[in-house]
Amino acid sequence: MDRLTAEQKIIELSKLIEEHNRHYHLEDNPQITDQEYDQLMRELQDLEDHFPDLVAPDSPTQRVGSTPLSAFEKVEHKTPMLSLGNAFNESDLRDFDRRVRQGLGNQPVKYVCELKIDGLAVSLRYENGYFITGATRGDGTTGEDITQNLRTIRSVPLRLKEPLTLEVRGEAYMGKTAFEQLNKERAEKEEALFANPRNSAAGSLRQLDPKIAASRKLSTFIYGIGEIEGKRIDSHSEGLTYLEELGFCVNEERRAFDSIDDVISFVNNWTTKRPELKYEIDGIVIKVDSYAHQQELGFTAKSPRWAIAYKFPAEEGITVLTDIEVSLGRTGVVTPTAILKPVILAGTEVKRASLHNEDIITQKGLMLGDHVIVRKAGDIIPEIVGVLKERRTGEERPFQMPTHCPECGSELVRLPDEVALRCINPECPAVIREGMSHFVSRQAMNIDGLGEKVVAQLFANGLITSVADLYYLHDKQDQLLQMERMGQKSVDNLLQAIEASKANSVERLLFGLGIRLVGAKAAKVLAEHFGSMDQIMQATTEELVTIDEIGPKMAESIRTYFSMPQVHELIDKLKAAGVTMEYKGMRVQAGDDLPFSGKTVVLTGTLSKMSRQEAEEKIALLGGKITGSVSKKTDLVIAGEKAGSKLEKAEKLGITILDEEAFIALLS
């Protein structure tokens, strides 16, 4: 494809992808499947890879997370992001109305009611229509620069429909479906679960690695204007409508009222209806609509006098604890789960609640048959708040955690400094089954077609007893064909996927083995440092702890794992099957003579000779550290075409600036 045709195609694809983003996020009306959307993104990425000088700063591909940050820079809000006063009942709302009317000399007043999204407050700044900086609320005066993470959210426009300079405020949140999926994935990895969507959104946006934020499926609702240049707006409702026209995602469930009685009816309505929403809300925000009235009412030291947040009461219910079940995860941890007499909370039926570990049961003083208080205060995961001991009849029974594994019968142990009980038998069927599902997962060996049901069938039919057995299934095609829903094509696809996984770089295998405390990132660090599985297996605790991000507990866990004879047998069997034991990725060079050694580098503008990702990789490989914003700690700024505010700031601070030609010369 020639350059002119590619340019036209890139413009066409970019517009089409952003149009589908609008359908999905602004209108809640997706027009294509996720797979079709991904195909459009791949097509655009391929074109931009071949013509890197055509990559625009607002291209949809620029939402993909880039190089991890070492820390978040501080951002000072030009207009403070103040918190709101709270109302908890009708009387509080009427008091608010009375204060407003008195403050305005009993003039007629109009209120705007909006849903209070349960997420993380953020500020987005645009210059000449382009998204420049995004920050957290922080203490209201100073927040943290999370621009790279916010760029990964599809509902955040990278370019507005008008070339305005403005700052808007909103809420970044995680929808219920995305939250449930995230916690399911974390549970499979035996990682700590997020308590609610608010915590998950906040945790995602405060990740130093933007790729993590990009994977979390976050969304935004914009609810206000901090400042705007060249445009007069007279009311809050007018401002929200204008923000929609600019391309922002603004919550449609907002209403304007002339009386506090109508406001209270709106609040009562959503107190009942909120379970119907696809996202969590924890209240209703009520604001005086007129900006002139807002200015007249002013502020207290902590909050505006013209707005208040009504907070929903906590969702609690009383039910009976009928039983406690225990289950095993892939690392052998035994987790107790409360079985409850069904109770309706926040519009859904609750039958189970996690108890996490034995200590929680002891602390809460739980007995089987107890009447318990269950809470779902805006949370998706129910929890037992307490016990109604006054309702005990004497028929309640104490619960005892098992002393032996319910699956294999091995004695359960509690490792030092841990509250969890574990089955440490590496041949435990339950541990192997859970470990197998982890081994074939996307971040590990990434074997398509090996879902939980297929794994269970393979175990049930005696075709596998360890992960290594997967690589010998080609000798058992007849037995595979006898399994439910496994025709010749399915079997062929499965065996091809298994065969392809042999070529994975060794960090995927290392992560897939499920070593306690070793996540995907630590596996990559280990593989890059040592280069091969053999070297990792032979590494001493002292050698391991010298590596960044590998602490004493992780080092001890790695040594304990590789000290077991069964593990050596497993690795030998995988080697014999042809599974790669070497690191295939690029390795960061070391040395003071490298061009970017010890330097903090910022890229700004568009490069013509390579993509931003390629440039960042080259800088990292030659000892540099990439950050997203310019500060006094920045050593070097590389400025491509159309470099904006970052270049201006670097010039003011006297930071060394290289154009693309000088940058390429330095690389060579």
Q: Which residues are catalytic?
A: 116
Q: Residue 481: which residues within 8 A CB-CB, separation 6 or more?
A: 487, 488, 491
Please state, in angstroms and as integers, the Cα–Cα distance from residue 610 to each residue in 585, 615, 623, following that order. Answer: 20, 7, 19
Query: How far is 342 from 213, CA to CA, in rounded Å?
Result: 35
Q: How many CB atoms lie under 10 A from the CB of residue 300? A: 9
Query: How far is 387 from 318, CA to CA, in rounded Å?
Result: 9
Starting at the edge strand that comes first in sequence, how are the strands of the sheet with 218-228 ordered?
130-136, 120-127, 166-174, 218-228
- Residue 168's beta-bridge partner residues? 124, 225
Query: How far is 550 from 528, CA to CA, in rounded Å?
Result: 13
CB 222 within 8 A of CB 250: yes
Q: How many CB atoms lie under 10 A from the CB of residue 323? A: 11
CB 27 within 8 A of CB 69: no
Write out the H or E segment, with its range, that includes residue 453. helix 452-460
- Residue 367's beta-bridge partner residues? 398
Query: How far is 197 from 379, CA to CA, in rounded Å?
Result: 7
At 356, list the tokens. 């996490």
Give the burial string for 584-615 (b: 16+ CB within 10 Å, else e). eeeeeeeeeeebbeebbbbbbbbbeebbbbeb
At 290, list the tokens. 């007129």
Give the burial string for 107-128 (b: 16+ CB within 10 Å, else e). eebbbbbbbbbbbbbbbbbbbe
Please state, in angstroms and as integers, the Cα–Cα distance from residue 196 to each residue in 105, 115, 170, 177, 367, following that order. Answer: 43, 18, 19, 12, 27
Q: Considering only CA atoms, which of 615, 596, 524, 603 is closest in space to residue 148?
A: 603
Query: How far is 464 from 456, CA to CA, in rounded Å?
Result: 10
Q: Which residue has tokens 């002339």?
A: 258
CB 39 within 8 A of CB 186: no
Write out the H or E segment, with its range, that includes residue 657. strand 656-659
